[in-house]
Amino acid sequence: MNNDFLSVSGLTRHIKRVIDDEPYLQNVWIRAEISNFKKHSRGHMYFTLKDDQSRIQSVMFAGHNRYLKFLPENGMNVLVRGDVSVYEPHGQYQFYVKEMQPDGIGNLYLAYEELKKKLEMKGYFQEDRKRPIPSVPSSIAVITSRTGAAVRDILTTLKRRFPYVQITLLPVLVQGPGAAPSVARAIQQAGEAGCFDVIIVGRGGGSIEELWAFNEELVADAIYNSKVPVISAVGHETDVTISDFVADLRAPTPTAAAELAVPDQRELKEKTAQYRTRLIRSLTEQVEGQKKQLKQYNQSYAFRYPGKLIEQKEQELDRMMEALQRETARLIKSKGEKYNYTLKALQNVHPKHRITREKDHYRMLYDRFMKSTRDYQQEKHESLKKVMYKLDVLSPLKMMERGYSLAYSETGLVKSTGQVNEGDALHIQLEDGRVFAEVTGKDKKGVTMDKRGERNE
């Protein structure tokens, strides 16, 4: 039976899990009014967030509220971001705040960041488009409120540092609904006037709402399109507006803007005195140098005896003319020889001449070859004739013409008596035919004769 009932803590724990798991209740922004604010000694803040119809208990632990730049108080409208959860000991749901901003400033802050991002993407903040401030301006337009500390600081500083500059105050609204159009119109008018070297635009310090005119896109456009360099001097050093990013130069305060706009007359006088001293010393040195040079001229030979100097120069001119003529002739001759040498060299290497030389060489080689061929043929012809003569002399036919004959046995040519015997049949070869015979006898009587080839035939 007891298992059918939940405990209070169990129910509360279940409700807490359900709420913690609901994404819609986590990391949400709430616009509300603070009441029953209490800051614990440990730094935690407890308060109620309410509107006309509801309220919710809230807590902002020290780990989150230590970065707040303001102290929340009862009746303050705020924007808070946090999670909805349940405080189990009391069974009470409450809002756990992680971030808090005063209502109004939060919207302005978001608008500031959006405009800053937009103008940065359009190139309004690029350093290379920003113009330098003239070092010694003659006329300055001051755009700010007619009353207030800012205009007094600017005018006092300008007159103290550089009283020679012409100052024109263009009074405008610096806060409120009409401030931005007023400032933008004044910047445009100052540019169209064409008589100002620098524009100082700004105001004294204040809250973000009071400085908001200088975060308007209308003012940023006016500064961006200004024909005259603009110095932005809005608020204190810690206040940074859109105008500061767009302006050609940002000054941390209105007084600093005046100091950046004009030089210090005392520093200028000191520099002028230094330049004057340097100039006088430089001119004195130049005059002394010129006097010394003039004195040297007066004592020079040319000024004392100009006629003789002219005569010397005449003679020198004659010598130089002669030398020039000789050198000219030498150069002409030298160049002519060089020209002829070059021309000859060119002719030698000309293809036509080379072809002629090669033809002559070829003809000479041909003649030598033909002569050698004829000599060789003649030599061989003579040698052949001698060989033919020898052959003719040694020819058996020729010997037969002279009465010689050749005897053959069955074994071949008979050259010795030892090759035949009596009764052997022989046939004898004569010039005009053969005769057949038989060996009837033989002896050893030989004939004396020279062997062929031993005579010088």
Average pLDDT over all residues of the chain: 88
pLDDT digits (tens, 9 = 90+) for 223-264: 999 999 999 999 877 778 999 999 999 999 999 999 999 999
pLDDT at 169: 95
Band the pLDDT of 278: cuts 50, 70, 90: very high
Residues 6+ apart with CB under 8 A from 99: 64, 80, 81, 82
pLDDT digits (tens, 9 = 90+) for 213-222: 999 999 999 9
Three-class DSSP category at 132: coil
pLDDT at 3 > cutoff 50: yes
- HSE, side-chain direction, 13 A CA sphere, residue 400: 13
Q: Shortest CA distance to 439 belongs to which of 415, 412, 407?
A: 407
Length of the chain counted residue by residue: 457
pLDDT at 457 > cutoff 50: no
CA 33/CA 112 separation, integer angstroms: 24
pLDDT digits (tens, 9 = 90+) for 153-177: 999 999 999 999 999 999 999 998 8
CA 257/CA 214 separation, integer angstroms: 16
pLDDT at 107: 66
pLDDT at 110 > cutoff 80: no
The backbone torsions φ and ψ at residue 80, rounded to the nearest 5 degrees and listed phi first, read -130, 145
CA 374/CA 432 separation, integer angstroms: 42
pLDDT at 105 > cutoff 70: no
CATH number of the structural domain 108-263? 3.40.50.2300
- HSE, side-chain direction, 13 A CA sphere, residue 69: 5
CA 285/CA 198 separation, integer angstroms: 40
Task: Write the single-letter amino acid at 28.
Answer: V
**Pair 166, 139: CB distance under 8 Å:** yes
CA 292/CA 347 separation, integer angstroms: 66
Q: What is the DSSP letter of 314?
A: H
- Taking residues 435-440, what's their average pLDDT? 91
8-102 classified as CATH 1.10.340.30: no
Question: Kind of pairing, strands 406-409 and 425-429?
Answer: antiparallel
pTM metric for this prediction: 0.48
CA 438/CA 48 separation, integer angstroms: 179
pLDDT at 99 > cutoff 80: yes
Same fold, 8-102 and 108-263: no
Q: What is the DSSP letter of 36?
A: E
End-to-end CA distance of the chain: 169
Boundaries of every domain in the chain: 8-102, 108-263, 300-351, 365-394, 399-438
CA 400/CA 333 separation, integer angstroms: 92
pLDDT at 455: 47
Which single residue is written with the structure tokens 């400032």? Answer: 183
Band the pLDDT of 456: cuts 50, 70, 90: very low
**Burial (CB count within 10 angstroms: exposed 0-12, middle 13-18, buried 19+), residue 266:** exposed
Q: What value, to the nearest 5°, has the Cα angle with vertex 135 and ends 243 and 140? A: 55
**Pair 233, 201: CB distance under 8 Å:** yes
- Taking residues 447-456, what's their average pLDDT? 53
Question: What pairs with residue 31 in β-bridges?
Answer: 79
pLDDT at 401 > cutoff 70: yes
Band the pLDDT of 450: cuts 50, 70, 90: low
What is the residue-wise DSSP string for 419-430?
G--TT-EEEEE-
